[in-house]
Amino acid sequence: MTIAFHTVFVLNENIKWMEEFLIYYINLGIDKFYLYHNEGTSGDGLLSKEVNKYGFSIRSESTEEDFKQLNLLLEKYKKYISYTLWQPRNEKNEIVYGQKEAIVDCLSKYGHLHEWMCFLDLDEFIFSKRNVNFVDFLNSLDPSISAVKLVQKKFLDRFLSKEQHISQEFNCIEGFKIGTEWAPKNIIRCRDFAGLYNVHNIYVKNKTATVNEDLFRFNHYNINDKQLAWMQTFYDRREPFSINAVDDGMKRYQYLFADFSND
């Protein structure tokens, strides 16, 4: 059984953390990464090519240094990576994000090579509070289960963190569980893919299992003032959400990053 990972990314927003992401998921058990590089777009909800969707400044275009770093990673991890320059266009001939189309493209070309494929972003790290082996878990699932749905736990935004490695950022929201009502992510059995509405709603032929968050969840490193305000409105809360807790479960993986720097 092989497990793949698909994502669409904007280089200048993500290159700083890309090697950490690769190292972490290789350790988790991912056999192949299908990296769809969406160069030339303002991305998924970005306010512009200079500001991401949370209001943080990013470079207007990927630099020569960005591409140099990318090429080094593509060479260093070539055993694991299939790289696609992904530049679909709209009716105005503008490059768009095209995440749905990228998922369909990836599954149609490569889905037959893998049993499972994960669909998450570069700021999302699958984590087991119980320290369950990810490969063993997927292997143990009944064949009638076509997909696994993961819920998220919110951690401080990558652009606000002072940690060298984002997986070692432990400041988070505690005491509130986010369920499937807000942006769950999916791992699907490739042969059972039946269509999708978006990355959060992928349709499969048989059952979808929503996993208990203590077994598996994904840590999402994107909490900032804009997200906190949005959450308060979405959940109709009188008391505002705040990053007032610490969850150091990922500390067990700090040894993975001893030999490289994100600087």
Identify the burial level of 104 via C-beta atoms within 10 angstroms of its C-beta, where 0-12 means exposed, 13-18 middle and 19 or more buried: middle
Average pLDDT of the chain is: 92
Q: What is the pLDDT of residues 130-139, one digit of tens each?
A: 999 999 999 9
Q: What b/e string do you get for 250-261 counting C-beta neighbours within 10 Å, with b at 16 or more?
A: beebeeebeeee
- The 10s digit of each residue's pLDDT in 138-169 is 999 999 999 999 999 999 999 999 999 999 99
* Residue 47: predicted pLDDT: 45
What are the structural domain ranges in the chain? 3-257
Give residue 138's pLDDT: 97
Give pLDDT, residue 52.
60
Q: Is the pLDDT of residue 81 over 70?
A: yes
pLDDT digits (tens, 9 = 90+) for 44-60: 554 455 556 656 555 55
At residue 172, does pLDDT exceed 60?
yes
Specify the pLDDT at position 259: 80
Q: Mean pLDDT throughout 53-76?
A: 81
Considering only 1-15, 20-34, 39-53, which range has the smallest mean pLDDT? 39-53
In the CATH hierarchy, which fold is given to the domain comprising 3-257?
Spore Coat Polysaccharide Biosynthesis Protein SpsA; Chain A (3.90.550)
Which pLDDT value is given to residue 55? 65
3-state SS, one letter per residue, for 98-143: CHHHHHHHHHHHHHHHCCEEEECCCCEEEECCCCCCHHHHHHHCCC
Least confident of 48-52, 79-83, 226-230: 48-52
Token pair listed for 261: 């720097």
